[in-house]
Amino acid sequence: MNLPTQWLDARDVILTDDIFREGWVQWPESEARCEKVVLPMIEKGGFILTQGFIGSTQENFTTTLGREGSDYTAAIFSYLLDADSMTIWKDVPGVLTADPAFSTT
């Protein structure tokens, strides 16, 4: 569709400790990286495409953020960018208007 898009490797922004499969975000360092890397991309305009579920350590080793890590990635970027809102689209058939685990019977 020829939309202007920039690639952003989430590991360049989200810094974590080195806990395997459950990296804890290092917030001050991630905020500094966001300012340095992401804000110039936003100023350039267009879309920014990144991946979820991963971060990196100070030594530049890839870490994962654990269960629901992709949703967590969206929340991390929303926080770092001081977003007004965040929307997560789940892989479900149709639109649910209530918790499917809740039963009235």
Q: Would you list the domain boundaries of the chain?
A: 5-80
| DSSP class of 100 | T
Residues 6+ apart with CB under 8 A from 26: 15, 16, 17
- DSSP letters, 12-62, are GT-BB---TTSPPB-HHHHHHHIIIIIHHHHHH-SEEE--SSEEE-TT--E
Q: Which CATH superfamily is domain 5-80 in?
A: Acetylglutamate kinase-like (3.40.1160.10)
Which residue do the tokens 């898009």 mark? 5
Considering the entire predicted model, what is its pTM? 0.83
Mean pLDDT of the chain: 91
Query: pLDDT category, 105, cuts 50, 70, 90?
Result: low
Give per-residue pLDDT as tens, 55-97.
999 999 999 998 889 999 999 999 999 999 999 887 767 666 6
